[in-house]
Amino acid sequence: MDWPTILFYLFAALTVGCGILVVANPFSNNPVTSAMFLVLTILWLAGLYVLLHAFFLAAVQILVYAGAVMVLFLFVIMLLDLRAEEKRKIKVFSLVGGLLAIGGIGAVFLGSVLKAQWPLAGAPAIEGGTAPLGKLLFAQYLLPFEIISVLLLVAMIGVILLSKRELK
């Protein structure tokens, strides 16, 4: 086995393991623990992006997700001073419904994975560096880019309005 293969299995196992600990941590019910494991999941995903030669996206993933979004999450958790979620009984109906939904999605997914014709592995020559991505972003995808900037402005104004003490 060569290095990229070993690294892929390592990163994939760590991503899935930390993802499980985000959703169902047997040792702690504290939202802060979940948030910390989500940070770890995002970091390992950035590792997978590097293996896929998407270097710019790996950097953006770490800067935006692990840097900004998760800090916002932790900030809100600590602001609200949420203590460990008290153990309430999970309703049987929601448990069965949830497992059924996930089983259904998993079955559809597995069926399509098994049926698909996979391209021959090998010789993808694409590099996701800043230069090719920037060329695409500012030429072919200029309009969506501008719309996204307007969306960010709208979100910013909305958040300021929502965090006022009196909602009118």
DSSP for residue 83: -
Please state, in angstroms and rounded to a whole number, the distance separating the CA atoms of residues 72 and 67.
9
Contact set for other proteins, span 11-70 (CB under 8 A): 12, 15-16, 19-20, 22-24, 31, 34-35, 38, 41-42, 45, 48-49, 51-54, 56-57, 60-61, 64-65, 68-69
Question: Helices 3-23 and 31-51: crossing angle, nearest 10°?
Answer: 160
| Position 133 contacts other proteins (CB under 8 A) | yes
> Considering CB under 8 A, how many residues would be counted as binding other proteins?
80
Q: Contacting other proteins (CB under 8 A), which of 26, 92, 115, 121?
A: 121
Report the nearest approach of other proteins to the CB of residue 25 (Å). 10
Contact set for other proteins, span 89-108 (CB under 8 A): 90, 94-95, 97-98, 101-102, 105-106
Please state, in angstroms and rounded to a whole number, the distance separating the CA atoms of residues 137 and 97.
42
DSSP3 helix / strand / coil % (the chain, rounded to 5): 75, 0, 25
